[in-house]
Structure 1
Amino acid sequence: MHSQEGTAIEFDEKVSIAKGLNQLANRYPNETIVWCHLDFKASLNTEVLPILFHHNKLLLSYRPSYSNFINEAIGYVDDSLFVNVNKKVSYPSWQMSSIVGMVHASVLIAIGDSIPFDTDFDYYLNSVAKQAMPLGLLCYSEPQLLKNTGINNILTSSHYTLFKFVKQHYRTRWVFLLFLNLLIYEKRLVLLPFLTSFCFRKRNSSFSLEGVKVVSSREVIDEPTIDVIIPTIGRKPYLYDVLKDLAKQILLPKKVVIVEQNPDVASSTELDYLESDFWPFQIKHIFTHQAGACNARNLALDAVESDWVFLADDDNRFESTLLEDVLYKMKQYGIFVATTSYIQNHETKVHLQIKQWPTFGAGNSFVKKNVLDNVRFNTSLEFGYGEDVDFGMQLRNLGLDVIYLPEPHILHLKAPIGGFRTKPVLKWQKDNIQPKPSPTVMLSCILHKTSKQQLGYKTTLFFKYFKHQKIKNPIRYLVNFRKQWNQSVFWANQLNQKQ
């Protein structure tokens, strides 16, 4: 072990690396700790480490291999975006590596021994990230930690390790589903790893990272100017309230882009107050007969000019400090994309930590404008589900994470559908075999999930859907479900070709 100055420091070689890191953290509580495998020492990209590690609540690592430490069969259990890691860019994931990485001492001190110091350093790092991500630790696969390495073939973990990890970090039911999926899709009867996993107890997050201070050294605010985009259809009074909330902002938007849709070709705008009332910002009003939120938001994105973009809905309500508070948090964390809390009147806020978010809110998000040049809403997903998830994934695959902000929050009124909204005629709705899941959901799976995640989703959908359909004979249901799944795959591929 060497300190930042290059002088050797004492290190207890009799304990595990995990325990050794903890000892170092307690000895140097204000330092960033970097680890690197000896085989990759010459490739450690020391020049960029201070730039990459721009605040203390980060855990960065990189495994220069197509595989991750945890066996790819984890996809049968975990369908989150954190599993399918894009190795080319900085990508949010709990899948950490012993090859290279860095963490601040204050994080290790906060965790202490509440996560056991596993002798397998890879297992320990994955366990730390899996437990700490929901508590606000921002964890990334970061290729810039190494230079000129290429992709190597590094061995992945065994089925014993996989089952142990699932038992310790997921609900017990997933151990059974993992066993079942391996049997169904890979014809593997992994009985011993399955049974051995029950020797291990679930790990609980009994620590807090609240004491880890966050002040990012990354400059993300050039000038605090912001444009707002709002697609709207048949919600005249609700949109008026949104505009009034924007007009009260301490940090006023420069421009509000409103895309009004009405599929009636004989119609014209109903938003008379855009002209009759005074607004303390420029309003760009686009009227179109083409219905669809994806198209509307894309039209609006083409019209923005300010440094930041607020993607809003026409039935939001928020406080006068919203824009100012969000940009403050984005500066504090050095982030380019944020999604706020978005609860309805009858809901209680569940997520109270600033953390990495598994989706993207198309009506409650803020994005730096210059990262949107090559990102648009996928019109293949129009009138379905998943266009906001897809948009967020496009951003992540450019190396941009989506961070959730519990405060400030936006109230989602879930306004009744406008009077002239028409239900679109979907190409498959007259098919004898109806696709299950929706082809737009299937397309999102195909585009962004691993093959094992797709199959794991197929299994869970099979069980969940059984009680909601009429066929009660299990064999007949299985035959019909397969037909519906295949129909969904067919239409998803048709939608994909449309792009």
Structure 2
Amino acid sequence: MFKFFKYIHPTWYYNLKPKLDYAYFPTVEILVKQGYDIEKDIEYNSIDAQNRDLAWRAFQQGFIINTAEQGLDVWQEIKLPIEDEYRFFRKNFHKLWAVYVLFFRLITLHNPFKELSAFWKTRNVQRQSHVLNHFEYPGYNNFKSKLIEKQPLISVVIPTLNRYDYLKDVFKDLEQQTYKNFEVIVVDQTDDFQEDFYKGWNLDLKFWFQEEKALWKARNEAIKSAKGEFILMSEDDIRIPETLIENHIKTIDFFNADVSCGVFFPQGSTIPKERNYFKYAEQFATGNAMLRRDIFKKVGLYDRQFEKQRGGDGEFGLRLYQNGYKLVSNPIAYCIDVKAPEGGLRVAGGSWDAWRPKKWNAPRPVPSVLYLARKYFGNKKAVLMVIPSVAPSLIPYQFKRNKILKLMSLLLLPLLLPLLIFQVTKSWRLASEKLKQGAMIAYLN
């Protein structure tokens, strides 16, 4: 991809070359063969930049093919004109990110005359929206899925912790599913375990109490006990439409995909525009994703190095992608995130999220985040990930999307720099211990 991309997305799945390419970044020839017509941006100085920009736009607009096919090799490092790098950045990201990149390039001793000249020449480039021109798949609505006709057994996996009031709504939604051939497996870690809670539901329900508060252990044990051909990873504080299971299966069949990654959105809002269409998935969330059970035999279960920390689902998704599995982001199989104020991972962990510790002397980010970044992308990319992420993490969790507070966090950065250095250093050290110990990944028999 473009070299400057690493400055703000150094640990993106698609920065790594997979074992199988599904024309993730298509060439002009592939687009034409599939019936799509996207014009190159001839304002770029180099042909290579024009081709990479075209491939990037196709990816972001939701280009998907059903068979493995070699697309543009964006993983091959080539030198592009600096002006083209800035042009790509301005077209795709907020203008403040271009300022950040310029600043970072200058303080890392790149030629200031070339940098400032390229930055200035591209000052009038307007940011573009991929959402407005995304690809459509009109055949989906009338698609008769042979996979659904076969009625494979689905195993729905739900770990829970102190959330019976929310879990009952999940059960109610599951009872209303249009697809009926599924079992529900619950691993309950609740302090006051109530066996009676599980009585009376119109579900094929299995459950057991797990004394250890361990999310990834719970998911792994549930997967081991599952009888289904497919596993649907779910959660205990969501609301789901009655067609959720059906649309996961249908999407896997329609796109010949290995994984259907359902979309989340918070209660009271709607699906974000940039995720409201089919595209190759850029993340894997264990709260709403379906895949074949046999995949766990080949890539392993969840890495328990992430226990009581963050990023276990992201690491697993990256493992799937690297091993040549095809992940499709599925807006039809959505779920609503209730965001329960109590229970769940935050009870068992020591942070509000990946970057916000609950105590001043706790590591920032949680060590598992650096473990993931360093393991797959290396130390330099991990540092590039930390630099733009630290300041926004100073904003309290409940206000993390507030744009004004994000800007104010930059003012706090110099004041809190010694503390942040202490926290990041501690996280780096703990991540080093994880790397030395190695992955804790078991495999299905």
TM-score interval for Structure 1 and Structure 2 normalised by the shorter chain: 0.7 to 0.9
CA distance in 2, matches of 1:384, 1:118: 43
Tell me the distance in 2 between the aligned counterparts of 1:372 and 1:194. Answer: 50
Q: Call closer, same or farther: CA 1:134–1:232 in 2, change over 3 Å.
A: same
CA contact under 8 A between 1:230 and 1:312: conserved in structure 2?
yes
Instruction: Summarize the alignment of residues 25-424 of structure 1 with structure 2, pairs less than 5 Å apart.
Output: 70-71=2-3, 73-79=4-10, 81-90=12-21, 94=25, 102-105=30-33, 107-109=35-37, 111-112=38-39, 115-116=41-42, 120-138=46-64, 155-184=78-107, 186-200=108-122, 201-202=125-126, 204-205=128-129, 208-211=133-136, 224-262=152-190, 269-274=193-198, 276-277=199-200, 279-281=202-204, 283-350=205-272, 351-373=275-297, 374-418=299-343, 423=348
User: Is contact 2:153–2:182 with CA below 8 Å preserved after alignment?
Assistant: yes
Please list the CA deviations of residues 119-172 of structure 1 after superposition, one character each: whole Å capped at 9, or x if unmatched. 7442222212322333212389978679xx9xx987433434323322333223
Structure 1: distance between partners of 2:96 and 2:178:
49
**Aligned residues between the structures:** 412
CA distance in 2 between counterparts of 1:487 and 1:452 reads 17
Check conservation: 2:158, 2:233, Cα contact below 8 A: yes
* Counterpart contact for 1:136–1:356, Cα < 8 Å: yes
Write the letter of the residue equivalent to 1:383.
Answer: K
| Distance verdict in 2 for CA 1:337–1:430, change over 3 Å | closer
Instruction: Measure the CA separation in 2 of the matches of 1:128 and 1:493.
Output: 39
In structure 2, C-alpha distance between the alignment counterparts of 1:179 and 1:422, rounded to whole Å? 41
Matching residue's letter, 1:386:
G
| Larger CA Rg, structure 1 vs 2 | 1
Looking at structure 2, the residues matched to 116 and 297 of structure 1 have their Cα atoms a distance apart, in angstroms, of 49
Give the drift of 1:446.
Answer: 1.8
Identity of aligned residues (%): 19
Return the alpha-carbon distance in structure 2 between the equivalents of residues 231 and 122 of structure 1. 47
In the other structure, the counterpart of 1:457 is: 385
Task: Choose between structure 1 and 2: higher helix proportion.
Answer: 2
Matched residue SS, 1:286: strand
Gaps of 5+ in 2: 352-356, 397-407, 441-445
Q: Secondary structure at the match of 1:340?
A: strand
Residue 479 of structure 1 and its aligned partner are, at CA, apart by 4.5
Alpha-carbon displacement from aligned partner over 1:220-249 (angstroms, at most 9, x marks no partner):
777532111111122224323322322332
Partner residue, 1:488: 427
Q: Is the 8 A contact 1:231 1:297 kept in 2?
A: yes
Deviation at 1:337, TM superposition (A): 0.9
Gaps of 5+ in 1: 1-67
Q: Structure 2 vs 1, CA of residues 470 and 402 (structure 1 numbering), >3 Å: closer, same or farther?
A: closer
Q: Which moved more, 1:136-145 or 1:237-246?
A: 136-145
Letter in 1 for 2:105: L
**CA positional deviation for 1:118:** 5.5
Report deviation, 1:459: 2.5
State how far apart, in whole Å, the 2-side matches of 1:85 and 1:134 are. Answer: 17
Q: CA deviation at 1:353?
A: 1.0
For the aligned residue pairs, the C-alpha RMSD in angstroms reads 4.0
TM-score w.r.t. length of structure 1: 0.70
Quote the offset at 1:471 in angstroms: 12
Deviation at 1:345, TM superposition (A): 2.1
For residue 102 of structure 1, give the secondary structure of its aligned residue in structure 2. helix
Q: 1:284 to 1:473 in 2, by over 3 A?
A: closer
C-alpha distance in structure 1 between counterparts of 2:203 and 2:389, whole Å: 50
Q: Residue 53 of structure 2 aligns to which amino acid in structure 1?
A: S
CA contact (8 A) 2:167 2:236 kept: yes
Once the two structures are TM-superposed, the CA of residue 444 in structure 1 deviates from its matched residue by 2.6
Letter in 2 for 1:78: H
Maintained 8 Å contact 2:238/2:338: yes
CA contact (8 A) 1:87 1:141 kept: no
Counterpart residue type for residue 366 of structure 1: M
In the alignment, is the contact (CA less than 8 A) between 1:435 and 1:488 conserved in 2?
yes
Change (3 A) 1:176 1:338: same
**CA spacing shift, 1:354–1:317, aligned 2, 3 Å:** same
Structure 1 260/467 Cα, relative in aligned 2: closer, same or farther at 3 Å? closer
2:400 corresponding residue in structure 1: none
**CA offsets per residue over residues 338-362 of structure 1, 9 Å max, x none?**
1222223222221311122322121
Cα displacement (A) at 1:203: 5.4
| Equivalent residue letter for 1:495 | K
Aligned mate of 1:437, from 340, 365, 380: 365
